Every structure is written in structure tokens, then in C-alpha cells.
Amino acid sequence: MGVEGGAKPGPDGALRCPWGLSAEDYVAYHDGEWGRPVHGDDALYERLCLEAFQSGLSWLTILRRREGFRAAFAGFRIEKVAAFTAADEERLLGDPGIIRNRAKISATVANAKAALSLGEGALDSLIWSYAPDAERRPAPRTHDEIPAVTPESTALAKELKKRGFRFVGPTTAYALMQACGLVNDHLADCWARDEMRPGPG
């Protein structure tokens, strides 16, 4: 028996974080992606943008449109998106494959320009410099033990905003840290927890 509010058995009997069983799309994302260390400027830029688009929405909404986002934003290649014009932004407002939010579309382009200005490899280094010491973070037993914001995510959001990034508040920054493996918020009894190895690439 697991802890009340803790990991739950899936169809295969393996214990998972409950959210990872709440929809079929989530199972593969939970098992194969969420919490696994992500490196590379373009890859981290993509996650940062998707977390920004998720603000105020369900992550499932974003996950189901992920290929649409990739098609719309040139595979989230920073150099290409940084070259987008006002006409491109207007075009994207009519794209049914993404979330058609003017402020978020504009922020995605602005964030590409901010990332490009940092120089190659700098976005990866900047984001990972805010990863907390994994040894000092106890494994959460239930979802209620997982914070929405931490001192590290607050500091990361502040630094990104200083560098010209938009739509990156402390909550969005922490969601990025969770998704990209800077922190391991798989529950203590979740089978995937031991596979996650935060650390420098």
C-alpha cells in the first residue's frame, strides 16, 4: 500500500505520480521525459516557451499541441525564431495548431532574441546554475509536499527577466526546473524517481 495521496499503481502495476496516470498522454510524458535532465540551448528554450504558454492552462493542452508548436516556431531553433518579424507574429495568431495568445507569441519571439544575445551554450549554463543541491531535498511522499515556487526558481526568474526574457515568473521557472530535471519531484515511491539524475551535462 502506498502513502495516501502518494504514488499510485498504473495498468502495469508500477507506482507512478498520480498526475502521470490522469490521462493517457501523461503516461509517456511522465515515464520518459518529465524530470529527466535536459541540456542544450534550443531544447531548454523550447521547454521555457511551452511552460510560458501553459500559464493559466492545463499542461495536457500544451502537450497535445506540441507538434503544432514545433511546426509554428521552426522547431524552437533559437536563431530562426529570433528572426521572426511582426508579420510572423500576426500569422501565428491565426495558427490553430498553437495557443493563439498575442502576449505569449510575442514573448516567444522576444525570448529567442534574448537567448541569442547570451551566446552559444549560455542559456544552458545560466539555467543549470540555479539547480539546487539534490542531496538536500527530501523525496516528496505526496503531491502536497511539492512546492510551486522555491528560492532558486525565484532567483532564476529574476535573472531571466534581467536578461530580457518574458513570461518567466517564479512558478513558470519552477515548472521548467521540474520538467528539465534540475529538481527531482517524482514522488518517493514512483518507479521513475531513481532514474532521474540531475547534474551538469
Q: Which long-range contacts (CB under 8 A, 24 or more apart) does 69-78 make?
A: 69/97, 69/98, 70/46, 71/97, 72/97, 72/98, 73/49, 73/98, 73/108, 75/42, 76/42, 76/43, 76/45, 76/46, 76/49, 77/42, 78/41, 78/42, 78/45, 78/112, 78/115, 78/116, 78/123
Rounded to whole angstroms, what are the CA distances from 166 to 48, 115, 150? 10, 11, 19
Spatial CA neighbour of 110 closest among 84, 145, 144: 84
Using the structure block, give the residue that is written with the C-alpha cell 495548431. Answer: 97
Q: Is 130 known to be catalytic? A: no
Active-site residue, from 26, 34, 45, 51: 51
Query: Nine-digit cell at 152?
Result: 532558486
Active-site residue, from 29, 33, 89, 145: 29
Query: Nine-digit cell at 108?
Result: 516567444
Q: Is 4 known to be catalytic? A: no
Query: Nine-digit cell at 147?
Result: 512546492
Active-site residue, from 26, 34, 59, 174: 59
Encoded amino acid at 86, one letter: A
Q: Is 128 known to be catalytic? A: no
Q: Which residues are catalytic?
A: 29, 51, 59
